[in-house]
Amino acid sequence: MPFVLSTASNARIEAVAQPNSSLNWLQLYVMRERSIAEQMVRRARLAGYGALVLTVDVPVSGYRERDVRNGFRLPFKPSPATLLNLALHPAWLMRFVASGMPAFVNLAEEEGADTLKLQAALLSREMERSLTWESLAWLRRLWDGPLLIKGILHPGDAAKACSAGVDGLIVSNHGGRQLDGAISSVGALNGVLQAVDGRIPVFADSGFRSGLDVAKALALGAKGVFLGRPLLYGLAAEGAQGATAVLELIATELERAMTLAGAHEVAALNPEILRTAALHLH
Protein backbone atom coordinates (compact mmCIF):
# COMPACT_ATOMS: atom_id res chain seq x y z
CA MET A 1 0.00 0.00 0.00
CA PRO A 2 1.62 3.30 -1.07
CA PHE A 3 1.99 6.16 1.40
CA VAL A 4 2.00 9.72 0.09
CA LEU A 5 4.06 12.03 2.29
CA SER A 6 2.79 15.61 2.27
CA THR A 7 4.96 18.66 1.71
CA ALA A 8 3.46 19.79 5.05
CA SER A 9 4.60 16.65 6.85
CA ASN A 10 5.91 16.80 10.40
CA ALA A 11 8.39 14.02 9.60
CA ARG A 12 11.34 14.41 7.29
CA ILE A 13 11.47 12.73 3.90
CA GLU A 14 14.47 10.64 4.92
CA ALA A 15 12.89 9.49 8.19
CA VAL A 16 9.82 8.08 6.47
CA ALA A 17 11.69 6.42 3.59
CA GLN A 18 11.70 2.64 3.32
CA PRO A 19 14.87 1.13 1.81
CA ASN A 20 14.45 -0.13 -1.76
CA SER A 21 10.72 0.55 -1.69
CA SER A 22 8.61 2.20 -4.38
CA LEU A 23 5.67 2.56 -1.99
CA ASN A 24 6.83 5.90 -0.61
CA TRP A 25 5.47 8.75 -2.74
CA LEU A 26 6.00 12.50 -2.22
CA GLN A 27 3.12 14.94 -2.54
CA LEU A 28 4.50 18.26 -3.75
CA TYR A 29 3.27 21.81 -3.37
CA VAL A 30 5.29 24.25 -5.47
CA MET A 31 5.63 27.43 -3.46
CA ARG A 32 6.59 30.84 -4.80
CA GLU A 33 10.22 30.06 -3.94
CA ARG A 34 10.77 27.13 -6.30
CA SER A 35 14.04 26.16 -4.67
CA ILE A 36 11.99 24.60 -1.83
CA ALA A 37 10.34 22.20 -4.26
CA GLU A 38 13.65 21.50 -5.97
CA GLN A 39 15.43 20.45 -2.80
CA MET A 40 12.49 18.29 -1.69
CA VAL A 41 12.36 16.49 -5.04
CA ARG A 42 16.12 15.95 -4.96
CA ARG A 43 15.94 14.49 -1.44
CA ALA A 44 13.02 12.24 -2.37
CA ARG A 45 14.97 10.86 -5.32
CA LEU A 46 18.01 10.17 -3.16
CA ALA A 47 15.81 8.50 -0.51
CA GLY A 48 14.34 6.11 -3.08
CA TYR A 49 10.80 7.45 -3.30
CA GLY A 50 8.74 5.73 -5.96
CA ALA A 51 6.57 8.54 -7.33
CA LEU A 52 6.07 12.29 -7.26
CA VAL A 53 2.52 13.64 -6.79
CA LEU A 54 2.18 17.24 -7.98
CA THR A 55 -0.82 18.96 -6.39
CA VAL A 56 -2.32 21.54 -8.76
CA ASP A 57 -5.54 22.72 -7.10
CA VAL A 58 -4.08 25.17 -4.56
CA PRO A 59 -2.88 28.27 -6.45
CA VAL A 60 -4.49 30.13 -3.55
CA SER A 61 -6.03 28.86 -0.36
CA GLY A 62 -9.74 28.25 -0.19
CA TYR A 63 -11.61 30.21 2.45
CA ARG A 64 -11.61 27.63 5.22
CA GLU A 65 -14.09 28.91 7.77
CA ARG A 66 -13.23 26.23 10.32
CA ASP A 67 -9.58 27.29 10.25
CA VAL A 68 -10.63 30.90 10.80
CA ARG A 69 -12.90 29.97 13.72
CA ASN A 70 -10.16 27.85 15.29
CA GLY A 71 -7.47 30.50 14.84
CA PHE A 72 -5.33 28.11 12.81
CA ARG A 73 -2.14 30.08 12.16
CA LEU A 74 1.59 30.22 12.82
CA PRO A 75 3.03 30.85 15.27
CA PHE A 76 0.40 28.94 17.25
CA LYS A 77 -1.39 31.03 19.86
CA PRO A 78 -3.81 29.02 21.99
CA SER A 79 -7.12 30.61 22.86
CA PRO A 80 -8.72 30.25 26.31
CA ALA A 81 -11.02 27.60 24.87
CA THR A 82 -8.03 25.68 23.51
CA LEU A 83 -6.25 25.84 26.86
CA LEU A 84 -9.35 24.53 28.61
CA ASN A 85 -9.64 21.71 26.08
CA LEU A 86 -6.00 20.77 26.67
CA ALA A 87 -6.52 20.76 30.44
CA LEU A 88 -9.45 18.37 30.05
CA HIS A 89 -7.29 15.86 28.15
CA PRO A 90 -4.12 15.45 30.26
CA ALA A 91 -2.97 12.19 28.63
CA TRP A 92 -3.15 13.71 25.15
CA LEU A 93 -1.43 16.86 26.43
CA MET A 94 1.46 14.83 27.83
CA ARG A 95 1.95 13.06 24.49
CA PHE A 96 1.81 16.41 22.71
CA VAL A 97 4.42 17.97 24.99
CA ALA A 98 6.67 14.92 24.60
CA SER A 99 6.43 15.10 20.80
CA GLY A 100 7.04 18.82 20.53
CA MET A 101 5.32 21.48 18.47
CA PRO A 102 4.39 20.28 14.96
CA ALA A 103 6.51 21.84 12.23
CA PHE A 104 6.79 21.54 8.46
CA VAL A 105 10.27 20.08 8.71
CA ASN A 106 10.84 19.42 4.99
CA LEU A 107 10.75 23.04 3.86
CA ALA A 108 14.45 23.43 4.61
CA GLU A 109 17.05 21.04 3.25
CA GLU A 110 19.09 21.00 6.44
CA GLU A 111 17.55 19.27 9.44
CA GLY A 112 16.90 21.58 12.39
CA ALA A 113 16.93 24.78 10.33
CA ASP A 114 14.59 27.58 11.40
CA THR A 115 11.68 27.41 8.96
CA LEU A 116 9.05 29.51 10.76
CA LYS A 117 8.84 32.02 7.91
CA LEU A 118 8.56 29.22 5.34
CA GLN A 119 5.95 27.45 7.44
CA ALA A 120 3.85 30.60 7.59
CA ALA A 121 4.16 30.94 3.82
CA LEU A 122 2.99 27.35 3.30
CA LEU A 123 0.12 27.77 5.75
CA SER A 124 -1.04 30.91 3.93
CA ARG A 125 -0.64 29.08 0.59
CA GLU A 126 1.96 31.37 -0.98
CA MET A 127 2.07 29.12 -4.01
CA GLU A 128 3.70 29.48 -7.39
CA ARG A 129 0.85 30.73 -9.56
CA SER A 130 2.87 30.75 -12.77
CA LEU A 131 2.83 26.96 -13.09
CA THR A 132 1.50 25.83 -16.47
CA TRP A 133 1.50 22.59 -18.42
CA GLU A 134 4.89 23.64 -19.77
CA SER A 135 6.22 23.68 -16.19
CA LEU A 136 6.13 19.90 -16.17
CA ALA A 137 9.35 19.97 -18.20
CA TRP A 138 11.02 21.72 -15.24
CA LEU A 139 9.87 18.93 -12.92
CA ARG A 140 10.97 16.24 -15.36
CA ARG A 141 14.49 17.64 -15.26
CA LEU A 142 14.46 17.13 -11.49
CA TRP A 143 12.57 13.85 -11.36
CA ASP A 144 12.89 10.90 -13.72
CA GLY A 145 10.45 8.59 -11.92
CA PRO A 146 6.65 8.29 -12.16
CA LEU A 147 4.90 11.67 -12.03
CA LEU A 148 1.24 11.98 -11.05
CA ILE A 149 -1.00 15.04 -10.95
CA LYS A 150 -3.40 15.40 -8.04
CA GLY A 151 -6.41 17.70 -8.19
CA ILE A 152 -7.83 16.86 -11.62
CA LEU A 153 -11.63 17.12 -11.96
CA HIS A 154 -12.21 18.11 -15.59
CA PRO A 155 -11.95 15.68 -18.55
CA GLY A 156 -10.19 18.35 -20.61
CA ASP A 157 -7.43 18.65 -18.02
CA ALA A 158 -7.14 14.87 -17.90
CA ALA A 159 -6.62 14.76 -21.66
CA LYS A 160 -3.97 17.52 -21.46
CA ALA A 161 -2.17 15.61 -18.72
CA CYS A 162 -1.97 12.54 -20.94
CA SER A 163 -0.58 14.64 -23.80
CA ALA A 164 1.97 16.16 -21.43
CA GLY A 165 3.35 12.72 -20.56
CA VAL A 166 2.07 12.45 -17.01
CA ASP A 167 2.20 8.90 -15.62
CA GLY A 168 -1.01 8.98 -13.57
CA LEU A 169 -3.85 11.14 -12.26
CA ILE A 170 -5.54 11.52 -8.90
CA VAL A 171 -9.10 12.79 -9.18
CA SER A 172 -9.49 15.01 -6.12
CA ASN A 173 -11.34 18.11 -4.92
CA HIS A 174 -8.87 18.53 -2.03
CA GLY A 175 -11.22 17.04 0.50
CA GLY A 176 -13.82 19.70 -0.26
CA ARG A 177 -11.64 22.35 1.38
CA GLN A 178 -10.73 24.46 -1.64
CA LEU A 179 -13.50 25.56 -4.00
CA ASP A 180 -16.92 25.54 -2.35
CA GLY A 181 -19.42 23.83 -4.62
CA ALA A 182 -16.83 21.94 -6.68
CA ILE A 183 -17.95 18.63 -8.11
CA SER A 184 -17.33 15.59 -5.91
CA SER A 185 -14.46 13.31 -6.83
CA VAL A 186 -16.72 10.34 -7.46
CA GLY A 187 -18.92 12.57 -9.62
CA ALA A 188 -15.93 13.67 -11.71
CA LEU A 189 -14.33 10.23 -11.94
CA ASN A 190 -16.25 8.83 -14.91
CA GLY A 191 -15.57 11.84 -17.13
CA VAL A 192 -11.85 11.75 -16.35
CA LEU A 193 -11.68 8.01 -17.02
CA GLN A 194 -13.36 8.46 -20.39
CA ALA A 195 -10.93 11.22 -21.33
CA VAL A 196 -7.91 9.13 -20.31
CA ASP A 197 -9.27 6.02 -22.06
CA GLY A 198 -6.88 3.64 -20.33
CA ARG A 199 -3.68 5.43 -21.33
CA ILE A 200 -2.57 6.05 -17.74
CA PRO A 201 -3.86 4.88 -14.34
CA VAL A 202 -6.46 7.04 -12.62
CA PHE A 203 -6.83 7.10 -8.83
CA ALA A 204 -9.55 8.66 -6.68
CA ASP A 205 -9.26 10.79 -3.56
CA SER A 206 -11.49 12.98 -1.34
CA GLY A 207 -14.66 11.91 0.44
CA PHE A 208 -14.03 8.16 0.59
CA ARG A 209 -14.86 7.03 4.10
CA SER A 210 -15.76 3.34 3.87
CA GLY A 211 -15.06 0.12 2.04
CA LEU A 212 -18.33 0.60 0.15
CA ASP A 213 -17.08 3.97 -1.09
CA VAL A 214 -13.90 2.26 -2.28
CA ALA A 215 -15.94 -0.43 -4.07
CA LYS A 216 -17.88 2.22 -5.99
CA ALA A 217 -14.72 3.97 -7.20
CA LEU A 218 -13.10 0.68 -8.24
CA ALA A 219 -16.28 -0.34 -10.06
CA LEU A 220 -16.21 2.90 -12.03
CA GLY A 221 -12.66 2.12 -13.12
CA ALA A 222 -10.33 3.79 -10.63
CA LYS A 223 -7.00 2.02 -10.20
CA GLY A 224 -7.12 2.65 -6.46
CA VAL A 225 -8.46 4.96 -3.78
CA PHE A 226 -6.49 7.23 -1.47
CA LEU A 227 -7.68 7.73 2.09
CA GLY A 228 -6.86 10.82 4.13
CA ARG A 229 -9.12 11.71 7.01
CA PRO A 230 -10.11 8.18 8.06
CA LEU A 231 -6.45 7.31 8.59
CA LEU A 232 -5.81 10.57 10.42
CA TYR A 233 -8.77 9.96 12.72
CA GLY A 234 -7.41 6.52 13.59
CA LEU A 235 -3.89 7.86 14.02
CA ALA A 236 -5.04 10.68 16.30
CA ALA A 237 -7.05 8.31 18.46
CA GLU A 238 -4.69 5.36 18.85
CA GLY A 239 -1.49 6.04 16.95
CA ALA A 240 -0.24 3.39 14.51
CA GLN A 241 -2.63 0.83 16.01
CA GLY A 242 -5.55 3.14 15.27
CA ALA A 243 -4.46 3.67 11.67
CA THR A 244 -4.12 -0.09 11.22
CA ALA A 245 -7.59 -0.63 12.68
CA VAL A 246 -9.08 1.84 10.18
CA LEU A 247 -7.42 0.06 7.25
CA GLU A 248 -8.62 -3.31 8.48
CA LEU A 249 -12.15 -1.98 8.88
CA ILE A 250 -12.20 -0.55 5.36
CA ALA A 251 -10.82 -3.81 3.95
CA THR A 252 -13.56 -5.77 5.75
CA GLU A 253 -16.23 -3.38 4.47
CA LEU A 254 -14.86 -3.66 0.93
CA GLU A 255 -14.92 -7.46 1.06
CA ARG A 256 -18.49 -7.45 2.41
CA ALA A 257 -19.65 -4.98 -0.24
CA MET A 258 -18.10 -7.09 -2.99
CA THR A 259 -19.71 -10.25 -1.65
CA LEU A 260 -23.15 -8.70 -1.44
CA ALA A 261 -22.79 -7.13 -4.90
CA GLY A 262 -21.72 -10.46 -6.44
CA ALA A 263 -18.10 -9.57 -7.22
CA HIS A 264 -15.80 -12.51 -6.44
CA GLU A 265 -12.64 -10.47 -7.04
CA VAL A 266 -11.66 -6.82 -7.42
CA ALA A 267 -11.43 -7.21 -11.20
CA ALA A 268 -15.13 -8.14 -11.21
CA LEU A 269 -16.09 -4.70 -9.93
CA ASN A 270 -17.44 -2.79 -12.92
CA PRO A 271 -20.20 -0.30 -13.77
CA GLU A 272 -22.67 -3.16 -14.32
CA ILE A 273 -22.14 -4.16 -10.68
CA LEU A 274 -23.19 -0.65 -9.67
CA ARG A 275 -26.42 -0.99 -11.63
CA THR A 276 -27.33 -4.52 -10.62
CA ALA A 277 -26.54 -3.92 -6.95
CA ALA A 278 -28.33 -0.55 -7.04
CA LEU A 279 -25.37 1.22 -5.45
CA HIS A 280 -25.92 4.96 -5.38
CA LEU A 281 -22.93 7.18 -6.04
CA HIS A 282 -24.06 10.09 -3.91
Q: Comparing C-alpha atoms, which of 88, 206, 76 is closest to residue 152? A: 206
Question: What residue spans of the chain are helical by DSSP H?
Answer: 13-16, 34-46, 65-70, 80-87, 90-99, 116-123, 136-142, 155-163, 185-196, 211-220, 229-261, 271-276
* Cβ contact 26:53 at 8 Å: yes
DSSP state of 24: E
DSSP SS3 for 88: coil
Active-site entry in 174, 264, 280, 282 = 174
User: Is 174 known to be catalytic?
Assistant: yes
What is the chain's length? 282
* Cβ contact 145:50 at 8 Å: yes
Integer angstrom CA distances of residue 68 from 61, 63, 101, 163, 182? 12, 8, 20, 40, 21
* Cβ contact 279:212 at 8 Å: yes
What residues are labeled active site? 174
